[in-house]
Amino acid sequence: MFKKWMNLIVLLVIASLVIVGCSPTATEPPSPIATEPPAPEATEPPAEEAPEVYKIGVGVALTGPEAASSTDNVKAYEMAAEEINAAGGINGHPIELVIQDDQCAAEAVITALQRMNSLNIPLFLDGMCSTSVMGSCQLSQDLGIVFYAHGTNPRVPDVCGDLTFQTLGNDTAQGQQQAELAEWLGAKKVAIVYVNNDYGIGIKDAFIDTFKAKGGEIQIEMPVMADGTDFRTEIAKLKEAQPEYTLFEMYGTTGVIFLKQAFELGFDTQFIGDTTWSGLSNLELAGDASNGMIALQMGDPDSSLYKQFIDDFTGKYGHTPAYTADWCYDQVKLAAKAIELGGYTAAGIRDATPKVAEDYVGPSGSKKMTENRHATYILSWVKYEGGKIVSLER
């Protein structure tokens, strides 16, 4: 009897399982594909939150070989910032300049870049000296800081990464223009004195390549130290060559010292200077020794933008600006436009810079960028006579 009851129970269990398995309400275990959640709908990334203040790093050679013009550079930087803020800043937010002495030395620029990194500042305006740019730009790349450089050595694009922009162009164009100027003056032979660093070598080499291609001859090349104070030995050697024309690739305090000593020693030659000798600051320091200097000038000295800048600066500060001031002014204006378009990140500023530079023209000329990230030069020829700078008619 027990055995019959057990068989009956087993049959009932089997029957119930069959009924459940055939029930229309029963569901089979879901497949692995069905268990995956549906893909979320694509959404726009959250908008970048604008800072209360857009801070921009600035390096100025308050000490070192370019200190003579740095006071005016600071004023030009600040004047541009004041104008931007008076017009509403960037999307309603003001800009603030964080200024540090770069000494025209790579070590000091490195220190400045490290400070900018600690403050989360993605853009640094600096590099009046090519040597300091080339010795520090790799750090700006590593830290993710966009570097607007005044350094003009042709090797900057190769040495630095895609975060570095030469906002003044490079010395290939300047050296070529000096060769054109020498030819226009009728020079067949030229002596060269140049500061023995990345800037002096870069512009000197560009001049030689072009001048020799035109059939010109180099009488003597004379390198000098960037921090030198006594150039009488070098000047004596130059006098011995008796050049009618001398390419003068020196700048700042050392350039002033050289000109004064050359004048005292009776070195009679026509100096052909670079853009550093197109402003009154250095020329007036050299006094009579710089009279007759022919040089290149960035931009067009007869343009309305340049004249307006000179008038505004003079009216605000009571004196005409140093030759580099308009360059600094334009850097800030270009930086603000890049931040406005690309946002306050290194990648955004990097991508926006060539776009806003395409149509930017300021007191120092066009900032349109080549594919190697350097601005195209607009260069004019000027002469210093009787305490005034006059344009040369070509």
Nearest to 332, CA basis, from 102, 104, 167, 106 = 167
Residue that the structure tokens 């350039």 belong to: 255
Per the CB < 8 A criterion, the answer to whether 279 and 299 are in contact is: no
Residue that the structure tokens 């931009």 belong to: 299
Per the CB < 8 A criterion, the answer to whether 206 and 274 are in contact is: no
Confidence of residue 279 (pLDDT cuts 50, 70, 90): confident
Backbone angles phi, psi at 104, to 5 degrees: 60, 35
Three-state secondary structure call for residue 249: strand
Backbone angles phi, psi at 225, to 5 degrees: -75, 140
Asked if the model's pLDDT at residue 149 lies above 70, the reply is yes
Asked if the model's pLDDT at residue 292 lies above 80, the reply is yes
pLDDT tens-digit map of 49-68:
679 999 999 999 898 767 77
Per the CB < 8 A criterion, the answer to whether 59 and 112 are in contact is: yes
Tell me what the pLDDT averaged over the chain comes to.
86
Confidence of residue 127 (pLDDT cuts 50, 70, 90): low
Q: Which residues contact 16 (CB under 8 A, 6 or more apart)?
A: none
| Tokens standing for residue 345 | 């990140």
Per the CB < 8 A criterion, the answer to whether 57 and 144 are in contact is: no
Q: What mean pLDDT comes out for the span 214-228? A: 95
To which CATH superfamily is domain 172-298+381-391 assigned?
A: Response regulator (3.40.50.2300)
Looking at the DSSP bridge assignments, the partners of residue 369 are: 375
Asked if the model's pLDDT at residue 41 lies above 60, the reply is no
CATH 3.40.50.2300 in the chain, residue ranges: 54-170+303-378, 172-298+381-391
Lowest mean pLDDT among 34-48, 170-184, 189-203: 34-48
| Tokens standing for residue 204 | 């000197």
Measure Cα distances from 47 to 92, 150, 274, 306, 330 in Å: 16, 33, 46, 38, 29
Confidence of residue 294 (pLDDT cuts 50, 70, 90): very high
Asked if the model's pLDDT at residue 330 lies above 90, the reply is yes
Query: So what's the architecture of 54-170+303-378 in CATH?
Result: 3-Layer(aba) Sandwich (3.40)
C-alpha count within 13 angstroms, C-beta hemisphere, residue 28: 4
Report the distance separating Cα 330 and Cα 328, nearest Å: 5
